[in-house]
Amino acid sequence: MFNTIFPKIHKEGYKFLAISILATFIVLFFSKIFGLIFILITIWVYYFFRDPERISINDDSYLVSPADGLITNISERSGPEELRLENTTYTRVSVFMNVFNCHVNRVPTAGNVEEIYYKPGKFLNASLDKASEENERNYFKIKTLKNNEEIIIVQIAGLIARRIVCEVEQGQELKQGDRIGMIRFGSRVDIYFKNKKVLAKLGQNVVAGESLLASD
């Protein structure tokens, strides 16, 4: 119960939370009204960087969501040219994270991190389709343990996002639902896959590491 109300926070949030708490005390000294506003901001900062435990299905016949948020796109697309996959067609599912969602990202299935590629870019609204080509982004190519298929995950910075955090290394083996990083302050995560049945629906709210996106 305690961990549900007060989940642990991601290490990226320590600095922001400390600054917010300090600012709150300073403002409270001069104004209770504005101090109350800063208390609410501090609570928001705490919950933005929350990093709750998640329980995955632990079945690699399924892909779980890599992010909390709203499914804004399900379509057939060419793979990312940054990973030399532009001549391969994948199903792409996009999950948009607003500033109230948990922003810790997770791997959809067990596999090995075959390649990581970071590309600087703009900070357009992450819900826009062109954000996948113009915004700052980080690519993961995962080779699944079950059938050696490629799963592509793309972290895409958003309008006010200013840092993509990658927490895994090339060659690392991951279990389904393991943390792979986070994006600060509003963003999107795309997942590319083949030969699977899409279970998720457009407009559905999903939970990273738990909600089922696709199955064999």
* Residue positions annotated with a catalytic role: 187
Q: How far is CA 58 from the centre of its chain?
A: 19
Please name which of 182, 107, 116, 119 lies closest in space to residue 145, comparing C-alpha atoms. 107
Block residue for tokens 């109300």: 5
- Cα–Cα distance list, 185 to 21, 50, 95, 132, 159 (Å): 18, 12, 14, 17, 8
Q: Does residue 13 contact residue 104 with C-beta atoms inside 8 Å? A: no
How deeply is 46 buried, as exposed, middle or buried, from its count of CB atoms within 10 A (0-12, 13-18, 19+)? middle
Distance in angstroms (rounded) separating the CA atoms of residues 152 and 154 = 7
